[in-house]
């Protein structure tokens, strides 16, 4: 029996491997380093590995390969853009995660027990979140590059498992946090079972599990398309669950609310990039030729998602839940880019993902700062008058909200404009109309929060804004600047995206 040794192109795999290496180093630090020094060394290792991975990625950004890992991943321009976005978002999120106030001191301690009290008093911290974050980042980096279904599945689990865990590590309201973890986990496992079932049918349809094999079968298939449609439907359930599209969205408000805010920001921003990266690749590469089959269903889901997210967000009273519904609406907007199925759609989606991700990290970064004596204050009523007490923080938050609403001179406007134009160009007038309508509805609740912060009298219950730590401040400042720059002068980024946004088969 002949066996040829596999060849891996380590230069192209370097970003993923470096992040994984950082994670392993983190595990070793957990095992061997003295407790007092763990936090700083973990933070250093995490940021360093992310930065090195980013530079490794930029070094090979011009390369293109389908055989970087024996056909399991495809390294191309769009992949580089997804990976770069994820790494940038991850670095900014790690700065938020570094704030100790986010995480419980001892996850194993029962809430309210003496053990928990002791652990809080002795200033313990769960430094394991750093390697977990890195594992999740590695999974996210792999997800949009995967070009066979096994790798896609493994990457999906790899980015999900750490997030399930981290969702349960909140410092305050731990019961809610643990509940969020349970819900996220159970529903995530449920949806990944659907995903796997879809993998099985796609394999049955084409006899291959690579995207190119599936595409070849769609082009030259001789049987009927029943297994294909089952495969597409079930795989879509798994993927749409991750991005929070209606009706697979129900987990996201609960999990966004329950999870530690820094993790929520990371999850909301980076997972969206990774999952939409994978969705774009699989629909643009594997399923492109079956377009007329899946497109109507996806248009339906896109419209329902954007309208549902925008309408329900209006009646939310909790800022994290409101941002969750806003992220649902944004998932609907982003699906418009998938539906477009054109280069313009791909470019617009990538821009939108980056812009949205950055603004999301910034917005959640601000949520971590608004506190009272019992921890973060997420009740919107208690945010009233924030603009009077902390004008800078409130203005930054208002600015992010304007970006979400797609007001000109913010990144959100450019993103919305280009993505809806792409959808319209490809003939989806309904998506355009629904998109503009629901962004008009959405603007209503974003502005409502702004009015609340600036035009209402401060609530008199001691809600205050924490003086941000240096790292949080850095994140908020960088995200605000990027959001502004992308709104005022996005041309360089758009050109860069245009020059390298392509999928190879």
Partner 1 sequence: MNPYNYLYVAGLLFTIGAIGVVIRRNAIVVFMCVELMLNAANLTLVTFARINGTLDGQVVAFFTMVVAACEVVVGLAIIVTIYRSRRSASVDDASLLKR
Partner 2 sequence: MLTIQTPEAVMFWVLAPVAVLAALGMLLVKKAVHSALLLAWVMITLAIFYIAQDALFLGIVQIVVYTGAVMMLFLFILMLVGVDASDSLTETIPGLRPIAITAAVGFGGLLVSLIGRATLGHGAVGLDSANGAGNVQALAKLLFSTYVWPFEVVSALLITAALGAMVLAHHQRTVARPTQREQAIARFRGDSLGSAAGLPNPGVFARHNAVDVPALLPDGSAAPNSISATLKARGDMLDSAQFELGEVDNTVTEEK
Partner 3 sequence: MVTSTSLVYLIALPLFGAAILLLAGRRSDKWGHLLATALSAGSFGVGLYQLSQMLSRPTAERAITQKLFSWIAVGTFKVDAGLLLDQLSICFVLLITGVGTLIHIYSISYMSHDENRRRFFAYLNLFIAAMLLLVLGNSYLNLYVGWEGVGLASYLLIGFWNQKPAYATASKKAFVMNRVGDMGLSFAIMISFATLGTVSFAGVQAASHTASKAALTAIGIMLLVAATGKSAQFPLQAWLGDAMAGPTPVSALIHAATMVTAGVYLIVRSNFIFDAAPTAQLLVVIVGAITLMFGALVGTAKDDIKKALAASTMSQIGYMILGAGLGPAGYAFAIMHLLTHGFFKAGMFLGAGSVMHGMNDQVDMRRYGALRKFMPITFATFGLGYLAIIGVPPFAGFYSKDAIIETAFNAGGVKGILLGSTALLGAAITAFYMTRVMVLTFTSKERWEDDQHPHESPLLMWIPMAILAIGSVTTGFLFTRGHALVHWLTPVVGERAEGGKVLLQPAVVSGLALVAVIIGVAIAVSKYQLGKVDSVAPQNVSVFTRIARKDLMQDSFNEAVFMKPGQALTALLVKGDDKVIDGAVRGIAATALGTGSTLRRTQTGFARSYAAFILIGAIVLIAAIWVVTQ
Task: Give the one entry of partner 2, partner 3, partner 1, none that residue 122 binds, where binding means its C-beta sits below a cut-off of 5 to 8 angstroms depending on kind.
Answer: partner 2
Tokens 């971590």 -> residue? 368
CA dihedral 176, 181, 182, 188 (to 10 degrees): 140
Query: Considering only residues 37, 55, 59, 118, which one is a binding residue for partner 2 as defined by CB under 8 A?
Result: 118
Q: Cβ distance 289 to 420 under 8 Å?
A: no
Nearest to 47, CA basis, from 165, 174, 137: 137
Comparing CB distances to partner 2, the nearer of 116 and 347 is: 116
CA distance 26 to 380: 37
CB of 173 to partner 1, least distance (A): 9
CB of 60 to partner 1, least distance (A): 27
Instruction: Please report whether residue 263 would count as binding partner 2 according to CB under 8 A.
Output: no
Instruction: Please report whether residue 174 would count as binding partner 1 according to CB under 8 A.
Output: yes
Instruction: Please report whether residue 226 would count as binding partner 1 according to CB under 8 A.
Output: no
Extract the tokens encoding 353. 């993902």
Mark residues 97-116: x for contact with partner 1 by CB under 8 A, - for none.
Answer: ----------xx-xx-----
CA distance 434 to 436: 6
Tokens 């995207």 -> residue? 211
Q: ω before 247 within 30° of 0 (cis)? A: yes
CA distance 73 to 202: 18
Report 58-87 residues binding partner 3 (CB under 8 A): none
Q: Please compute, for residue 479, the number of CA atoms within 13 A of its CA located in the half-sphere on the CB side.
A: 38
Helix (H) or strand (E) holding 500: helix 491-500
Query: Considering only residues 15, 79, 107, 260, which one is a binding residue for partner 2 as defined by CB under 8 A?
Result: 107
Query: Considering only residues 205, 352, 413, 503, which one is a binding residue for partner 2 as defined by CB under 8 A?
Result: 205
CA distance 195 to 248: 13
Query: Considering only residues 7, 48, 110, 314, which one is a binding residue for partner 3 as defined by CB under 8 A?
Result: 314
Q: Cβ distance 278 to 143 under 8 Å?
A: yes
| Binding residues for partner 1, total number by CB under 8 A | 43
Integer angstrom CA distances of residue 35 from 30, 130, 433: 8, 14, 56
Task: Give the one entry of partner 1, partner 3, partner 2, none that residue 138 binds, where binding means its C-beta sits below a cut-off of 5 to 8 angstroms depending on kind.
Answer: partner 2
Integer angstrom CA distances of residue 270 from 8, 21, 152: 26, 20, 16
Mark residues 52-81: x for contact with partner 2 by CB under 8 A, - for none.
Answer: -----------------xxxxx--------
Name the residues that contact partner 2, by CB under 8 A: 1, 3-6, 8, 13, 20, 23-24, 27, 30, 69-73, 106-109, 115, 118-119, 121-122, 124, 126, 128, 131-132, 135, 138, 142, 148, 150-151, 154-155, 157-158, 161-162, 164-165, 168-169, 204-205, 221-224, 226-227, 229-230
Name the residues that contact partner 1, by CB under 8 A: 107-108, 110-111, 149-150, 153-154, 157, 161, 164-165, 168, 174-176, 178-183, 185-186, 189-190, 192-194, 196-197, 199-201, 203-204, 207-209, 253-254, 257-258
């Amino acid at each position: 029996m002949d066996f040829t040794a596999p060849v891996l192109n380590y230069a192209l795999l370097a970003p993923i491997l470096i992040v994984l290496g950082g994670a392993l180093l983190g595990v070793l630090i957990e095992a061997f380093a003295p407790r007092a020094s763990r936090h700083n060394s973990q933070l250093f290792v995490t940021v360093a590995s992310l930065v090195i991975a980013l530079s490794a990625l930029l070094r090979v950004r011009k390369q293109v390969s389908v055989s970087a890992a024996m056909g399991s991943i495809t390294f191309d321009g769009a992949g580089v853009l997804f990976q770069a976005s994820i790494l940038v978002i991850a670095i900014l999120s790690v700065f938020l995660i570094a704030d100790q106030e986010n995480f419980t001191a001892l996850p194993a301690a029962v809430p309210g027990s003496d053990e928990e009290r002791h652990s809080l008093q002795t200033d313990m911290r769960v430094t394991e979140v750093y390697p977990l974050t890195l594992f999740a980042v590695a999974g996210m980096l792999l997800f949009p590059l995967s070009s066979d279904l096994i790798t896609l599945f493994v990457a999906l689990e790899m980015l999900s498992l750490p997030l399930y865990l981290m969702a349960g590590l909140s410092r305050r309201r731990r019961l809610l946090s643990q509940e969020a973890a349970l819900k996220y986990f159970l529903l995530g496992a449920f949806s990944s079972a659907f995903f796997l079932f879809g993998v099985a049918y796609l394999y049955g349809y084409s006899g291959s599990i690579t995207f190119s094999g599936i595409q070849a079968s769609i082009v030259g298939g001789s049987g009927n398309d029943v297994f294909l449609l089952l495969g597409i439907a079930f795989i879509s359930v798994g993927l749409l669950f991750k991005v929070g599209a209606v009706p697979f969205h129900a987990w996201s408000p609960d999990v966004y609310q329950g999870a530690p805010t820094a993790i929520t920001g990371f999850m909301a921003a980076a997972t969206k990039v990774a999952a939409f990266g994978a969705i774009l690749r699989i629909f643009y590469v594997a399923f492109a030729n079956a377009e007329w089959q899946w497109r109507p269903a996806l248009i339906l889901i896109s419209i329902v998602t954007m309208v549902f997210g925008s309408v329900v967000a209006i009646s939310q009273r909790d800022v994290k839940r409101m941002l969750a519904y806003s992220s649902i609406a944004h998932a609907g907007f982003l699906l418009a880019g998938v539906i477009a199925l054109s280069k313009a759609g791909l470019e617009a989606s990538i821009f939108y993902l980056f812009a949205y991700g950055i603004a999301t990290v910034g917005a959640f970064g601000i949520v971590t700062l608004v506190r009272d004596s019992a921890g973060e204050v997420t009740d919107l009523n208690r945010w009233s008058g924030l603009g009077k007490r902390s004008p800078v923080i409130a203005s930054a938050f208002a600015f992010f909200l304007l970006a979400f609403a797609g007001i000109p001179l913010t990144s959100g406007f450019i993103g919305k404009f280009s993505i809806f134009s792409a959808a319209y160009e490809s003939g989806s007038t309904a998506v355009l109309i629904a998109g503009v309508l629901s962004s008009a509805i959405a603007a209503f609740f974003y502005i409502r929060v702004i009015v609340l912060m600036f035009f209402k009298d401060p609530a008199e219950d001691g809600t205050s804004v924490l003086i941000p730590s240096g790292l949080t401040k850095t994140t908020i400042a960088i995200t605000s600047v990027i959001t502004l720059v992308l709104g005022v002068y996005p041309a360089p980024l758009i050109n860069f995206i245009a020059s390298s946004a392509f999928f190879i088969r």
